[in-house]
Chain A
Amino acid sequence: MNKTIAEKIFDSHFVDNPSDDIHVIRIDAVFCHEITTPGAITDLAARHKDRVFDPSRIKAVIDHVSPAKDSKTALQGKILRDWTKKHGIKDFFDIGQNGVCHAIFPEKGFVRPGYTIIMGDSHTCTHGAFGAFAAGVGTTDLEVGILKGVCAFHYPVTIKINITGKLGKGVCAKDVILSIIGKIGVNGATDRVIEFTGPVVDEMSMDARMTLCNMAVEAGSTCGICSPDTKTVDYLWDFIKDEYPSKQDALQAFQKFTPDPDAKYEKIIEHDVTSLEPQITFGYKPDHVKNARELSGIKVDQVYIGSCTNGRLEDLRMAAEIIKGKKIAKHLRCIVSPATPKVYMDALEEGIIKTFMEAGVCITNPTCGACLGMSNGVLAEGEICLSTTNRNFNGRMGKGGMVHLASPATAAATAIAGYITQN
């Protein structure tokens, strides 16, 4: 035995090894969005290969720019829409039913422990929270995934990060992953899978585990993975209850994809979070991380709460608790993008949206929006944004804009104060 989760998944999906370290594996689900998929669609057509391997295993969404902001983004959406129609791809989420890909696909039950998933999007690693191997790929790999349902990877080498201790009040999964990236660096896990284990991960909700796995790629990792457990089963139960007689049976089936006790890791990193404080980035790389209080007092122009990292219900709840009954600072704008329509509806029912609106927050429809600086909150040159997203690259949210990454709690506290502060 002695296998890691990724090794078990690779071995159960083996198709071919065309050269020693390369494994071609069968792909269970190919996810598509409107920015990277149209290039694959038009190339397949140009090669007279306008086919799909299995329409039921392809899921598509318009999420990056929604609704379209100009003719080019409208065309990208149209190509995706027309293609799903032509090939009978039923799981397509158009404007109105759409949300951020890495939030809506798990929510619809499209991810299962042991699955292999690819998408032309680097944060596909988010779905590893369910014990799946999920990786972002280039356009040609996406194209082959669509056509044949296979993809080639280096056989996985895994780093285990054992997260121990107890999280303090107001400290959450975002702070944990920022502290890990700060420790191992943006190249710390390049071409490696990260297995997140330990009591802190066991305690985390599925929303929190998704936040954790989402930023694995910011350390260069192909995929971050959590072991499937009862929380995984509870989250998925509505979608799988016809497949298993009981939750216990489902758990047993999923536990095929837990690591063996003697699994071989390239490295094991112990990460104690007992005295961890809220974290924040200060530079243009996600490993430029400090304690948030070290940046306190910096005046902020915009606070953004949303994205595939922190746009889920738990994130919005965390922010609303802090904002409730208060007003956001006068000189600042705060934008909240619920990641999916369900998150939006649940937030409405819980009164979270009302809390935000009474405080003067702008609520957008579910979309990636400002996260990649294409719409819904692009920064002006010289502006500073505290954001719950995952990339602080130079110009990411608008040319000449500065982005500080932090948790929804730090974002909410900052929105009230007007300058960087922790809750």
Chain B
Amino acid sequence: MKNFNGKVLFLDRSDINTDEIIPAEYLTEIDKGTLKPHLLESLMLDSFSHISDINGKSIIITRTNFGCGSSREHAPWALEVNGINMVIGESFARIFKQNMFNCGMMAVELSSETIDGLFEQFAGSDTFLETDLDKNILIIKNGKDKNKIPFSISDFNRALVKAGGWVEYADSKY
């Protein structure tokens, strides 16, 4: 199973599409590792620098409809090779979400109030998040605050995460 704990990158925008996550010009790359420096290279977000802001982060918290546009699985891969295995947001594009779980990664949906609250309380500070997959709890903290947030994912997606993705799940089960 992948690691779902670590420092949080806040992306305060909705409808971040897969072209912004990883531009089309890198689709002829065969080795996932080559995608690493290009993650979020084309993101349209003021004062965001993909070079310095991504470094050391393991989790993204964002707004609605993350991963819309082209179905390219290069989007989760580009996250994965940067050590980002989890995206938390209000909603996701359908194919992006399944691609994440197929890769043993997580796309977790929380209510808009909860997301608003997280941005207010934690964005801009050094924030750390821990995932308790058995209890369905996210623990988020910075220097002064600590919140426990319940979350839910479907049984099938949970099984994919536990198995480390659809390849491992299917290989052991079928």
Contacts and interface: CB of A to CB of B under 8 A. Distances in A.
Given A76-B30, A148-B174, A150-B174, A138 B167 contact: no
Contacts of B28: 35, 72-73, 76
B135 to A, nearest CB: 20
A140 B165 contact: yes
Interface stretch (A14-22, A126-134, A157-165, A291-299): A14-22
A40 to B, nearest CB: 9
Interface residues of A, number: 32
B19 to A, nearest CB: 11
A143 interface: yes
B103 A140 contact: yes
B44 interface: no
B174 A49 contact: no
B71 A122 contact: yes
Contact of A42 (B30, B95, B98): B30
Given A15-B174, A150-B174, A140 B94 contact: no
A273 interface: no
A24 interface: yes
Interface string B6-35: 000000000000000000000111111000
A147 B170 CA distance: 9
A184 interface: no
B102 A140 contact: yes
A144 B165 CA distance: 10
B159 A75 contact: no
A374 to B, nearest CB: 9
Interface in B147-171: 154-156, 159, 165-168, 170-171
Given A138-B95, A148-B170, A148-B174, 13 more contacts: A16-B174, A18-B155, A18-B156, A19-B156, A43-B32, A49-B167, A75-B30, A76-B28, A138-B99, A139-B73, A143-B167, A150-B174, A152-B166
Interface of B: 27-32, 71, 73, 94-95, 98-99, 102-103, 154-156, 159, 165-168, 170-171, 173-174
14 contacts: A18-B159, A19-B154, A22-B156, A38-B30, A43-B167, A76-B28, A138-B71, A139-B73, A140-B103, A141-B166, A144-B166, A147-B167, A147-B170, A148-B174
